[in-house]
Structures are given as C-alpha cells and as structure tokens.
Amino acid sequence: MSLPLVFHPDYVTPLPPGHRFPMPKFGKVYEYLIKDGLAALEQFHVPQVAPVEWLTLAHTPAYVQAYTNGDLDARAMRRIGLPWSPELVNRTCTAVGGTVLTAQLALQHGMACNTAGGTHHAHADFGSGFCIFNDLAVAALYMLAQSVVQRVLIVDLDVHQGDGTASILRDHANAFTFSMHCGKNFPYRKSASDLDVELPVDMADHAYLHTLQRHLPSLLDEWRPDLVLYDGGVDPHHADRLGLLALTDEGLYARDRWTLSQCAQRGIPVACVIGGGYDVDVDRLARRHCLMHRAAQEVLVGVNDSRG
C-alpha cells in the first residue's frame, strides 16, 4: 500500500525577501518527494480550507475573526513573526485543513503524512513563533468531536516545546500531549504538557534516541490512543539555525522510523506533520523533511507485508 500524502499549492505563499521563515520549503518537499522517487502523483490528496467552525474548536472566535480580517494589532503580529496578507490567511487555513485530512487518511490507511503542519506555538487566543492557528490541536479536537476516535496522543519531537498545543488541550481529558524538546530553546515561558521531556543543548543521536525509547513505549501502552498526531520537526538537526541540538540526518531518520514503528506494532494510526526546520539551504532542508515521509512509507509497507 502506498502512503497517503497531503499537499496543496497554497502551502507556499510569498513573504518579504530575506524573511527568516523558509516558506519555499513546503513546495520543495513536494518536489523532492516526486523527484527522489519517494512518492507518485496519485499518492497526493488535496485538502480543503479549514472552515471557521473547525478553527474555533481550538481558538477563540474573537482571535479567529481578528486574524482572518487583518485586525490584530502590531504587537500581536510581531509575536507571530509573519506579515499579514489575505494569501497567508488562506495558506494558514489550508494547512490546518491538510492536517485534518491527514488524520482522516491515517484512520483509513494506518498512516498518512502532511507536507506542512506542526504549528504548535499557536495558543487559543494568540499566535506565536510563526504559528497562527494550531493544526495539531484543531485536528485532535475535530476528530474527537466527530466521535471517530476516543483518545488522541500528540507526540511532538520538534526541538521547540509545543506550548500552544499543551495550553489548548490542557483541560481535554481525551487528548494527551507529549513534548520532547531542548529545554533552553524557545519558548522561554513554557506551558506544561501532560508529559514534557527537556533535553540538554547539543544532545546527539544516541542519547536522543535512548531518551525517546525510555518514554514512548510505556506512554503508548498506558494511554492506548486511537490516533497519534506526530510532529516530526527536523530542527533538532545540528545544522539548524534555530535548533541547539546535534542530531544528524541519520539520527532524524532513525527517530522517525522507530517512532512510527512503535505505533504501527500496536496498530495505532499515525498522522504525521513536518514541523519546524530552519536550515538556510532550503533544498537541503526540504530533503531533510522528506526523511519522515520515507520512514513512514517503509514502515507502512512493512506492516502490510507482515499481514500478507
């Protein structure tokens, strides 16, 4: 079985020249998945723009309206770090729709990957750190509201703590947030996840994987989720300019393959999002993000082969 993938051309929208958010990477991920033989066109699904009703599952109506109308004040926009435009509003809502679709496809096929997503710094009533609406929280709450799942686990392995996701889902008994991140990195004022694992600066492959292996299996066994939302950010990489950890490409791939295998062995569907990554070389960065898609395809094929 081929891995379902989610992409929309509107995942890429123009930003001012020299902006440090690597917007072109989303289109490059799509290009390299095809160019490098990791995906075929028929694997891609096109998401819808997330309607207001989805967004307000996780965000206050006042914040959703203010952002979509372009009425946030200058301070709130500086906290987001992206300039407002109608195109960016559309892009943001399309990416949220993409993660919801990815979750739906994961339930059907066992695993699916978005080519965007992971906006985990967006809180209920404000955006932060390049994150406007929180696709992970929206997808979790949408799937729970539809009663297609009863328990959702967010596994957030981006180098930055998923503070917005933790804050939004804090009082939702059927959603569990797990964040493993560099303790001395952004955000400097963190929200408490259900499980936070703080890592020291410059942690490399072996120690990172050992730490993950000490926490995830027991969490999967004790929580027994019906769906995992996996944020496989590549900013723990040693070359990432916003990272502070020291993983290699091989370490990121091993992290993704092991994490996805743990879920697959337990029959837990996984919806993957690409999360953060800020290498100045956008082509190299896009290929780094593709490691997650390669790992997911290999795990999904292995599961299907074992079932005969």
- The number of distinct structural domains making up the chain is 1
| Domain CATH for 149 | 3.40.800.20
Task: Check pLDDT > 70 for residue 304.
Answer: no
Residues 23-61 as b/e (b if ≥16 CB within 10 A, e otherwise) read bbbbbbbbebbeeeebbeeebbbebebbeeebbbbbbee
Q: Is residue 75 part of a domain?
A: yes
What is d(CA 188, CA 107) in angstroms, rounded to the nearest whole number? 35
Q: Is residue 16 part of a domain?
A: no
Confidence of residue 305 (pLDDT cuts 50, 70, 90): low
- Residue 135 is assigned to a structural domain of this protein: yes
Q: Which two tokens stand for residue 152?
A: 């959702």
Residue 15 lies in a domain: no
Owning domain of residue 220: 5-10+22-306
212 part of a folded domain? yes
User: Tell me: the pLDDT tens digits for 263-278?
Assistant: 999 999 999 999 999 9
- Average of per-residue pLDDT across 31-53: 98
Mean pLDDT score of the chain:
97
33 occurs within a structural domain: yes
Listed residue (220, 241, 3, 26) closest to 110, CA to CA: 3
Please give the average per-residue pLDDT across 172-195, as a whole number. 97
* pLDDT surpasses 60 at 308: no
Q: Indicate whether 163 belongs to any domain.
A: yes
Q: Is 54 left (phi over 0), alpha (psi -120 to 50) or beta?
A: alpha
> How far apart are the C-alpha atoms of 69 and 52, rounded to whole Å?
12
Q: What is the pLDDT of residue 219?
A: 98
- Chain CA centroid to CA 253, Å: 16
Residue 257 counted as domain residue: yes
- Tell me what percent of the residues of the chain surpass a pLDDT of 90: 96
For the stretch 54-108, pLDDT in tens is 999 999 999 999 999 999 999 999 999 999 999 999 999 999 999 999 999 999 9
At residue 307, the pLDDT reads 64
